[in-house]
Amino acid sequence: MLNDTVARVTDRIIERSAPSRGAYLARMRRAAEEGPARAHLSCSGQAHAYAGAGQDQAALATQSAGNIGIITTYNDMLSAHQPFERFPTLIRDTARAAGGTAQVAGGVPAMCDGVTQGTPGMELSLFSRDIIAMAAGVGLSHNTFDSAIYLGVCDKIVPGLVIAAQAFGHLPAVFLPAGPMTSGISNDEKAIVRQKFAAGEATREELMASEMAAYHGPGTCTFYGTANTNQMLMEFMGLHLPGASFVNPNTPLRDALTVAGTQRALAISHLGNEYTPVCDVLDEKAYVNGIVGLHATGGSTNLLIHLVAMARAGGIVLDWQDFSDLADVTPLLARVYPNGLADVNHFHAAGGLGFMIGQLMAGGLLHDEVKTIAGDGLSRYTQDPKLKDGAVEWVAGPTETLNEKIVRPIGDPFQPTGGLKRLAGNLGNAVTKVSAVKPKHHIVEAPIRVFHDQESVKDAYRNGEFNEDVIVVVRFQGPKANGMPELHSLTPVLANLQARGLKVALVTDGRMSGASGKVLSAIHVCPEAVDGGPIARLQDGDIVRVDARDGQLTVLTPGAMERPVATADLSGNEYGQGRELFATFRNTVGAADTGASSI
C-alpha cells in the first residue's frame, strides 16, 4: 500500500502542475503526430543529413527500422566521460544489425566541478547545465530521428540532458551511463590527507599522491556525489536499463548493456512495437520516485536545484516543501561516502539500487505503476543484469542486504528520515544535507563571521582567526551574483575547526557539492544576497541558529533585519576564464528554489 505522505505529495504536485503539464503534453502529442522530418525534407536536405553516414546512407535514404540520434558528452580529459569514446561505434553497429541506423546528432560540453573547484571556471558550472540542454536541442533540431540516446554522467550534465530530452519529449530517451572507475584508495583516507594539507600537516606532494591514487582511471568518481546521484536518479526514474548505473567501464557487461540500450531505443520508437516517449516516462510519479531515491541514498544537495529545473522542462512544478515532506517519511538505507566509508562499487556489490528499490517498494514509498524504458512498472528495477552468452539477461536481484554496514533493509534503516532537510526562518529558505552530519552537530547556534568569497575564509583560517564557536557566512555566491559556484574547498577547513571541538556551521547562498558531509551547512539560501535577501543584512557577531532537527534558519540578534542590505563589488566576477560570455545567464537566472535556470 502506498504511503499516505507519498500519495499526498504526489497528488499535490499533480494538482499544482495541471495547467503547465497539460499544455506540455499537448505539445508533445502534436510533435509525435507530425513525426520526424526525414520524409518531408527536400532531397537536398536529406542528402546533407546522410552524406556522412557511410554504409548507412542507403538505409537512411530509403528505409530504416529507426534512426537513433546520439547526444554525447565525450571528452578525454575527464575520467567520467572518456569511456564514451567507444560508444558511438558500438551503438551504430548494434542499430545496423537490427535494421536501424544511428548518427551522432551532436556533442555537448562536460565540465568537472572537481577540476574547477575554487577557481573562476567554477562560476560557469551551474550555467553549463542550460548550455548542455540548448546544445543537445541544437543537435536534435534537425528532426531526423526516431529515438535518442544520451551519453552523459556528471553533475550538471545529466540534468541538462534530461531538460533537452523533455523538450523533445515525443521521442524515446535512453540514457547510457559509462559507469564508475574501479576503487582506488578509500575516500576516507583521501579526506584525511586533504584535512592534513589544509592544516599544514601534509605536503603538496603527499596530497598529489593521495589524489592520484583516488582518481586513477576511466569512469566516474567513486564517492556518492552529484555524478553518482544522477546515475541513481536515472534508474529510479526509469531512464537507465535496470542495474546499469554502477557497472565499471570497458567491461563485457558494460558493453552488453550499451548494446541492450541501443536495441531498446529502437524497440520503443514510433517504428517499434512499444512506443514509449520520454514525456510519458517522466511524469509526476517518476519525479516523486526520484526524490524518494535521493533521500533514501543520502544523495547530493545539488539535486534540489536540478530536479526542480528538470521537472519544469516537462511542465511539472516541484518545490522544496515536496522534498522536505518526502524526507520525513523516507528512511536512510545507504551509507556511501561521504556519509559512510564505502564507495559506489562497494554499494553496488552489497545489493545496490535493485535491493533498495525493492525495499522502498515493499515499504510503500515508491510508485510501481510508471512507464520506463524497460517496460511498465518500476518493479523491473529490482532485477540484476547478468551476462549469458555475451548478452544481457536480467535475473531476480537480492532480497537481503549483502553488507548491512552499507545498505540496510527498510525495517532496520541507518536513520528513520532522509538525508536532506529544508530550512526556513527569517533568513529565508535553505537546504541542508544531514546524512553525514553526526546528530550532536545538527543544531549550531553561534556568532557569525561574514565573508564575500571562499578565499577570504581560508585566509582567516590560515591567520588563526577562528578560535571559538562560529557560523561562517559566505554570501554573494548565488546564481545572479557569480553563477553559484560550489564551495567544496571550504570543507577541509570547516572540518578541521569542528575536529578541534568547536561548534561550526556554514550559511551561504552558494552551493556545496554532493561531497559535502561532516559539517552542518545551510546552503542555497534564497533570496540571495545580490537580490537583497536577509543574508545581506548580517554583520560579524550576529547570533544565528541553524537547526536541522526543526528545520530553522534564524538570526537571533535584535534589529538585524532592520539594517540596510550590504552590497559587494562583483565586477571581478564578470571577466576571465570565459565569465564574460555568461553575463546574459547571470542577468536572467531564476532563484535556486525555482531551479536556478535561465531557460
What pLDDT score was predicted for residue 41? 74
Q: How many residues does the chain have?
A: 599
User: Which distant-in-sequence residues (6+ apart) come within 8 Å of 155 by Cβ?
Assistant: 112, 113, 125, 225, 226, 227, 230, 302, 513, 514
Q: pLDDT tens for residues 78-122? A: 999 999 999 999 999 999 999 999 999 999 999 988 788 778 888
Give the 3-state secondary structure percentages of the chain, helix then strand then coil, rounded to 5. 45, 15, 40
Global pTM value: 0.93
d(CA 53, CA 96): 12
Residue 214 is placed in which grid cell? 583516488
pLDDT higher than 60, residue 67:
yes
What pLDDT score was predicted for residue 573? 87
Residues 168-191: what's their mean pLDDT?
90
Average pLDDT, the chain: 93
Q: pLDDT tens for residues 335-388? A: 998 888 899 999 999 999 999 999 999 999 999 999 999 999 999 999 999 999
Between the ranges 174-183, 414-423, 486-495, 572-581, where is the mean pLDDT highest?
174-183
d(CA 22, CA 19): 5
Q: pLDDT tens for residues 506-537? A: 999 999 865 556 899 999 999 999 999 999 99
pLDDT over 70, % of the chain? 99
d(CA 95, CA 99): 6
What pLDDT score was predicted for residue 514? 52
In the annotated binding site for [4Fe-4S] cluster, the residues are 154, 221
User: Which distant-in-sequence residues (6+ apart) come within 8 Å of 493 by Cβ?
Assistant: 198, 457, 458, 461
In the annotated binding site, the residues are 154, 221
d(CA 476, CA 482): 7
Q: How confident is residue 460, by pLDDT bands cut at 50, 70 and 90?
A: very high
